[in-house]
Structure 1
Amino acid sequence: MSPGRASQCRSVVPSCESTLPVSENTEAAGTRMSARVLETDRTGIPPDQFLRRVGEIFEDFDERRQDSGNVSYGVRFGDLRVFAKTAGRPSVGTPLSHPERVALLRVLGALGNADERAVKPLAHLAHDPSPAVSRAALEALGRIGSVAATARSSLIGVVIQTADEETRRAALAML
């Protein structure tokens, strides 16, 4: 990383078999390999094995370094660094079950993205029997709705206030 440049650390949220993007802020370096991580839905192998195949693990945070039951990794793809957080192993005794940890990580991924494509899975998680998962999903839905409303309001403001016809047409096309 160049001096004076902010960290390029991106995040993914893999469970034992899946990955979910948290941040869509891409950099040119490492994009091909990191895209594989972000686009992978199921791996069929443990997360550390998958991450070692597509990048270089430079740090790991397992049960010896945290007590949540989650296992996290720092992974490097060229100059791009990624933070991968997993729900850990099902056998680890923690306040939340393994499925609840997986669900919360997915909710956090959607929350980090503030992506409208996450609305359907979050709406499903809002009905989860675990109050922790349900509340986290509802919070994520609220944030996504807030971001979408703010963006729409800004576009409407441009349509109303801009004198430049080309800019106005572009804003209208986004509505």
Structure 2
Amino acid sequence: MRSSPLRDRAARASQLLLHCLAGVVRPKSGEVVLDGRRIDTLAEAELTRLRRENFGVVFQFGELVPELTAVENVALPMLFNRHGRQEAMTAAAQWLARLEVSDCAEQRTGELSGGQRQRVAVARALVTGPRVVFADEPTGALDTLGGEQVMSALLDAARASRTAVVLVTHDNRVAAYADREIALRDGAVLAGVHR
């Protein structure tokens, strides 16, 4: 498992790169390769399946479905991958427990604190056992303590499940959690620093 933050003074460039790596946006130039296979040229249906089966995403503000409970939000990716409801709900409950938010499993997202929402978002990103989690400023909406708790939970869970993490951050404390840092300037990759 590796964790690598993308850092740039202009958030737009690092977020665009993250979206290209995750197969959400197709790059105007260059290639996106996973296991020796270009993913930027895949047909939309194939790319959607690849994302669904291999990637998890944590957004800055969680982006949870407000009409669903925490456990239902976490189960959603498994349901999209055609797992049975009981299997999905059981796995979701286990991830919520692992991230220490099982007490809010039946609450809707509007009833959760910012830290709880982010932990639920982390659980949702990891529930399918993805190969890579892409995290866009996962602590940006949290205070220092909440940010530390979410980063620890994300990276501990990712290490345990051997999932790589690629994240965008402008926070030095968050970047310090990573094994390697990739710096950008004016949209270009400057260098990768191994820790």
TM-score w.r.t. the length of structure 2 is: 0.30
Q: Which has the higher contact order (CA 8 A, sep 6+)?
A: 2
Of structures 1 and 2, the larger Rg is shown by 1
TM-score w.r.t. the length of structure 1 is: 0.33
**Which structure shows the bigger proportion of residues in strand conformation?**
2
